[in-house]
């Protein structure tokens, strides 16, 4: 924050009001289905009108990155959730399903396995498990085997998950560890990272929400989207919190999907276990709920509900700091992230 001048910050409290961001970046401000304004895609790199109210001298490419980071973009198959050389696996899922978990940066096998071994229909919680496992996979890939334990990267947990046929194959300590991973990722996020498919990573709460949306899109009777993943005007809702009329997740922006996820998660956790377990294994479902239910799906869980909507802005300030910072500083964010994680896990390591 010290590197930002008063001019850079503008009239932030706590940052800019959402209406300012939407007015600058969206073609139809106020609509959860709005496309980004056409000026965002001009090739001349001119400043977008009104961007001085947000960040002075912002260029169109930077503005598009900000819109992405702030959850103002969608997950339309082949566009915001592109099929690239990095995303070969399809898992046989329809575009309205795959586009959501692809944008979340979760591989098909983890998306499917988290739902299968969860063995319940609390898919907002299963989504948290899927994202946590994906993050652990990325940590394992980024860390030399000899350094993993000291860095708090437990590859044995990942191996047990990959081999599991039910939640009984994982220990309570495994679930607690994965939940801790998610808490850590919800507490800090760094702009500009690439996800497992090779494109810009979205904030962790948005990742969870997109995976939950993918699960919701597989449920019987979901008709909000057309086969091409755009909304079906006759079925799609327009208010994310209105759970009896679901929105088209792929055609809605990340913020809208996040709003839906928060409301759906609250509703699912409020239902008595005997109703949501059905024929499923109550003991297994209870274990995953015990591990993940107290996680706050935002950066600052201690804040009031209104503050949750502001949680998606912090990374933009961080991006500005990085852009204006000392070019000689250490930029190895993956290593720093793992060191930070190791410090958080010192106490837990002693119990393993």
**Average pLDDT estimate for 208-224:** 94
pLDDT at 117 over 80: yes
Q: How many domains is the chain partitioned into structurally?
A: 2
Asked if residue 213 belongs to a domain, the reply is: yes
190 and 100 housed in the same domain: yes
**300 located within any domain:** no
pLDDT at 110 over 80: yes
pLDDT of residue 205: 93
pLDDT at position 181: 95
The rounded Cα 12 to chain-centroid distance in angstroms is 25
Q: What is the pLDDT of residues 45-102, one digit of tens each?
A: 444 444 444 444 445 677 788 888 888 999 987 766 665 444 444 455 688 899 999 9
Q: Is residue 49 assigned to a domain? A: no
Stronger pLDDT, 96 or 133, i.e. the higher one: 133
Residue 48 lies in a domain: no
Task: Kindly state whether residues 83 and 34 are assigned to the same domain.
Answer: no
162 and 285 share a domain? yes
Residue that wins the pLDDT comparison between 121 and 9: 121
> 325 and 287 in one domain?
no
Q: What is the pLDDT averaged over residues 137-163?
A: 95
The average confidence (pLDDT) of the chain is 76
Q: What is the sign of the dihedral through the CA atoms of 200, 311, 298 and 70?
A: negative
The pLDDT of residue 340 is above 70: no
For residue 47, is it within any domain?
Answer: no
* Residue 302 lies inside a defined structural domain of this protein: no
My answer on whether 174 and 80 are in the same domain is yes
pLDDT-based confidence at 220, cuts 50/70/90? Answer: confident
Same domain, 119 and 198: yes
Domain that holds residue 234: 74-295
**Between these two residues, 94 and 237, which has the higher pLDDT value?**
237
Residue 286 lies in a domain: yes
Are 81 and 221 within one domain? yes
Last residue of a domain, one of 266, 295, 324: 295
Note the pLDDT of residue 240.
Answer: 96
Let me know whether 216 and 337 are in one domain: no
> Does a structural domain hold residue 167?
yes
- 301, pLDDT greater than 80: no
**Predicted pLDDT at 124:** 94
Looking at per-residue pLDDT, the higher value among 97 and 319 belongs to 97
Examine the fold and report which residue of 270, 295, 320 is the final residue of a domain before the chain moves on: 295
- 169 has a pLDDT exceeding 90: yes
Average pLDDT over every residue of 317-344: 48
Residues 204 and 89 in one domain: yes
If you average pLDDT over residues 280-287, what whole number do you get?
A: 70
From CA 172, how far away is CA 268, in angstroms rounded? Answer: 22
- pLDDT tens for each residue of 181-203: 999 998 877 677 888 888 889 98
Same domain, 86 and 12: no
Q: Is residue 141 domain-shared with residue 267, that is, in the same domain?
A: yes
Mean pLDDT on 18-46: 78
Please report the pLDDT score of residue 333 as a whole number: 52
Both 246 and 288 in one domain: the answer is: yes
């Amino acid at each position: 924050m010290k590197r930002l001048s008063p001019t850079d910050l503008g009239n932030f409290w706590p940052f800019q009001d959402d209406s300012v961001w939407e007015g600058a970046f969206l073609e139809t401000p106020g609509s959860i289905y709005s496309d980004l304004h056409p000026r965002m895609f001009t090739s001349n790199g001119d400043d977008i009108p009104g961007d001085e109210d947000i960040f002075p001298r912002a260029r169109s490419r930077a503005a598009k990155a900000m819109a992405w980071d702030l959850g103002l973009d969608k997950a339309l198959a082949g566009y915001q959730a592109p099929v690239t050389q990095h995303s070969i696996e399809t898992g046989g899922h329809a575009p309205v399903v795959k586009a959501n978990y692809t944008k979340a940066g979760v591989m098909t096998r983890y998306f499917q396995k988290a739902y299968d071994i969860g063995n319940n229909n609390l898919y907002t919680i299963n989504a948290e498990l899927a994202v946590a496992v994906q993050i652990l996979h990325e940590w394992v890939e980024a860390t030399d085997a000899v350094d993993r334990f000291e860095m708090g990267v437990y590859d044995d947990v990942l191996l047990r998950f990959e081999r599991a046929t039910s939640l009984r194959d994982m220990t309570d300590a495994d679930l607690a560890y994965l939940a801790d991973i998610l808490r850590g990722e919800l507490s800090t996020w760094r702009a500009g990272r690439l996800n497992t498919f090779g494109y810009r990573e979205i904030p962790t709460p948005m990742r969870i929400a997109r995976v939950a949306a993918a699960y919701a899109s597989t449920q019987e009777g979901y008709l909000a989207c057309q086969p091409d993943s755009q909304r079906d005007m006759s079925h799609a809702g327009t208010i994310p919190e209105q759970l009896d009329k679901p929105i088209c997740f792929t055609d809605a922006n990340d913020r809208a999907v996040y709003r839906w996820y928060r409301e759906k998660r609250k509703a699912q956790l409020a239902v008595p276990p005997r109703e949501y377990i059905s024929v499923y294994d109550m003991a297994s479902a209870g274990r995953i709920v015990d591990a993940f239910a107290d996680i706050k799906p935002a950066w600052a869980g201690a804040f009031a509900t209104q503050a949750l909507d502001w949680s998606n802005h912090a990374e933009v300030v961080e991006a500005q700091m990085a852009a204006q910072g000392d070019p000689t500083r250490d930029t190895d964010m993956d290593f720093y992230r793992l060191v930070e994680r190791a410090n958080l896990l010192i106490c837990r390591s002693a119990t393993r």
